[in-house]
């Protein structure tokens, strides 16, 4: 499971559509997304309600505490929304110690209300945690003792009245059936649409129907293959304050176009230990090992390639990573760990072909940055792949330590650390 945050706009769009389809509950959510490219005149033509109702506007940037931070404007007309957005669009703010520009807003009808409820549904290893409170809103943390919670095991696919009872027992009788029905419906959407988190803080009651005012969601992006149509044109934004480097953007674009998996995240551009690991699980283990050995501050990146990428894909992947690893040589030693477990179906020699071509092309950069390469791999055709790596080291004059499955998977991490720790 890979939890990916989505914007409030997408969370509400998905909930509205599928709550009606799956549970027969029709919630009158209206919302519009505003970015730097938004033409408000055209937006108002597409969403006529913008000119006929009072409005709420707030950043849609994957951070919370917007109300407490003065970033929510209530009861405005469209002209007021335009002014609010123009004053803040692209401006840097600091939220929980992280700084970044505001690039996206959500605009919705202003909903006068009295009661505020809290709902949270979160995936756990063995099931789902459902939390509910009659005291929702900006002070939910101060009233956390009033939150009721239940655990729903994985094998339980729906909420029954019996399961819901502890959550709604103290609600007034006039709203209890509607809220119970709403909780059941939202749980179905959560399960069927592969949410990993769905939180409303608060939701209220409008004309007898629950209505989410503030909402956030996370999806399991590994389920994209079966939810492409259900999720629609969903966006998985970067965390607030984070922007992609050119190398990260390049690999991200490649990843979107291939059936394989190609991932690159720069952690420390000046780091001296870099990884190019086959397999999502193995890549995490290698990174964790470097950290466990006390060298997390020297870890330059997180990277993984898996799903049998072809030679051209691994060539471009390796080129981008080597450029990052060898940037700005400073005379200090650097290490590149080309690791992995024992593959089930990936042809090790075939994927190594692209990496070897990249090493050959980047020979001068690798030497200038004093990079030593450590290889450990197993799987189909691995002997041929490892032999090619050994031959390459002799050919281009770059030290390449090569190991097969007889060596422990992460042993080369310790060797890489020992290498960069030697005084120049």
Q: Which of 78, 109, 140 is the last residue of a domain?
A: 109
Give me the pLDDT at residue 224, please.
86
**Do 259 and 354 fall within a single domain?**
yes
Residue 240, in any domain of the structure: no
How does pLDDT run across 114-142, given as a tens digit for each residue? 999 999 999 998 999 999 999 999 889 99
The DSSP-derived string for 399-424 is -EEEE-TTS-TTHHHHHHHHHHHS--
Q: Specify the pTM.
A: 0.76
Give me the pLDDT at residue 192, please.
96
- Mean pLDDT computed over 101-109: 96
- Residue of 409 and 212 predicted with greater confidence: 212
Q: Is a pLDDT exceeding 90 seen at residue 247?
A: yes
**Do 179 and 292 fall within a single domain?**
no
CA 101 to chain centre: 19
**Do 207 and 252 fall within a single domain?**
no
**Do 181 and 61 fall within a single domain?**
no
Contacts of range 109-112, beta carbons closer than 8 Å, 24 or more positions apart: 109/30, 109/49, 109/53, 109/54, 109/55, 109/56, 110/53, 110/54, 110/55, 110/56, 110/74, 110/75, 110/76, 111/56, 111/204, 111/206, 111/211, 111/213
Q: Is a pLDDT exceeding 60 seen at residue 20?
A: yes
How does pLDDT run across 186-227, given as a tens digit for each residue? 999 999 999 999 999 999 999 999 999 999 999 998 898 899
How does pLDDT run across 323-371, given as a tens digit for each residue? 999 999 999 999 999 999 888 877 888 889 999 999 999 999 999 999 9
- Provide φ and ψ at 204, rounded to 5°: -135, -170
**Do 264 and 396 fall within a single domain?**
yes
- What's the CATH number where 362 sits? 3.40.50.261
Residue 48, in any domain of the structure: yes
Please name the helix (run of DSSP H) or strand (run of DSSP E) that holds residue 320, with its range, or none.
helix 311-325
Residue 274, in any domain of the structure: yes
In terms of residue numbers, what domain contains 60?
A: 32-109
Give me the pLDDT at residue 225, please.
85
Give me the pLDDT at residue 187, please.
97
Express as a percent the part of the chain with pLDDT over 70. 99
Give me the pLDDT at residue 222, please.
84
- What's the CATH number where 46 sits? 3.30.1490.20
Total structural domains in the chain? 3
**Do 149 and 290 fall within a single domain?**
no
Q: Output the six-digit token pair for 317.
A: 């992947």
Helices (H) and strands (E) in the chain, counts: 13, 20
**Do 222 and 152 fall within a single domain?**
yes
Q: State how far the Cα of 127 lies from the Cα of 190, in Å rounded to an integer.
A: 12
Interior angle at CA 230, CA 235 and CA 164, nearest 5: 100
Residue 238, in any domain of the structure: no
Arithmetic mean of pLDDT over the chain: 94
Residue 128, in any domain of the structure: yes
**Do 78 and 101 fall within a single domain?**
yes
Give me the pLDDT at residue 157, please.
87
Q: Is a pLDDT exceeding 90 seen at residue 81?
A: yes
**Do 46 and 118 fall within a single domain?**
no
Give me the pLDDT at residue 256, please.
84
Residue 388, in any domain of the structure: yes
**Do 255 and 226 fall within a single domain?**
no
**Do 200 and 250 fall within a single domain?**
no
Q: Which of 231, 260, 293 is the last residue of a domain?
A: 231
- Give the pLDDT band (50/70/90) at residue 424: low
**Do 308 and 256 fall within a single domain?**
yes
- Give the pLDDT band (50/70/90) at residue 383: very high
Residue 236, in any domain of the structure: no
Q: Which of 231, 261, 278 is the last residue of a domain?
A: 231
Residue 62, in any domain of the structure: yes
Neighbours of 120 (CB within 10 A): 19
How does pLDDT run across 269-324, given as a tens digit for each residue? 999 999 999 988 899 999 999 999 999 999 999 999 988 899 999 999 999 999 99
- Mean pLDDT computed over 29-42: 96
- What's the CATH number where 223 sits? 3.30.470.20
Neighbours of 326 (CB within 10 A): 20
């Amino acid at each position: 499971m890979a939890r990916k945050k989505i914007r409030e706009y997408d969370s509400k769009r998905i909930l509205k559509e599928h709550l009606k389809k799956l549970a027969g509950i029709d919630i009158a959510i209206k919302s519009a997304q505003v970015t730097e490219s938004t033409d408000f005149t055209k937006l108002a033509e597409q969403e006529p309600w913008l000119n006929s109702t009072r409005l709420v506007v707030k950043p849609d940037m994957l951070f919370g505490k917007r109300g407490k931070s003065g970033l929510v404007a209530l009861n405005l007309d469209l002209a007021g929304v335009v002014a609010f957005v123009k004053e803040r669009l692209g401006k840097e703010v600091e939220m929980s110690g992280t700084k970044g520009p505001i690039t996206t807003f959500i605009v919705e009808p202003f909903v006068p209300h009295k009661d505020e409820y809290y709902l949270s549904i979160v995936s756990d290893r063995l099931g789902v945690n459902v939390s509910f409170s009659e005291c929702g809103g900006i002070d939910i943390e101060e009233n956390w003792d009033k939150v009721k919670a239940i655990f729903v095991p994985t094998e339980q696919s729906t909420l029954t009245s019996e399961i819901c009872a502890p959550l709604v027992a103290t609600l007034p009788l006039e709203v209890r059936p509607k809220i119970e029905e709403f909780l059941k419906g939202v749980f179905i959407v959560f399960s069927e649409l592969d949410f990993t988190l769905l939180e409303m803080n608060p939701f209220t009651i409008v004309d007898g129907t629950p209505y989410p005012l503030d909402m956030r969601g996370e999806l399991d992006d590994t389920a994209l293959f079966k939810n492409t149509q259900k999720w629609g044109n969903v966006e998985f934004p970067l965390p607030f304050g984070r922007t992609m480097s050119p190398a990260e953007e390049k690999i991200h674009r490649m990843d979107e176009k291939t059936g394989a998996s190609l991932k690159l995240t720069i952690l420390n551009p000046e780091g001296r230990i870099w990884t190019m690991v086959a397999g999502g699980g193995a890549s995490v283990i290698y990174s964790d090992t470097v950290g466990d050995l006390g060298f997390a501050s020297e870890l330059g990146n997180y990277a993984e390639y898996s799903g049998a990428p072809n030679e051209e894909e691994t060539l471009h992947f390796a080129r981008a990573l080597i450029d990052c690893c060898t940037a700005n040589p400073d005379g200090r030693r650097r290490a590149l760990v080309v690791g992995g477990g024992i593959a089930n179906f990936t042809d090790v020699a075939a994927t190594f072909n692209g990496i070897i071509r990249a090493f050959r092309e980047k020979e001068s950069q690798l030497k200038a940055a004093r990079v030593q390469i450590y290889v450990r791999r197993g799987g189909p055709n691995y002997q041929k792949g490892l032999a090619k790596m050994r031959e390459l080291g002799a050919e281009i004059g770059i030290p390449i330590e090569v190991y097969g499955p007889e060596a422990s998977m992460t042993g080369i991490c310790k060797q890489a650390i020992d290498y960069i720790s030697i005084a120049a």
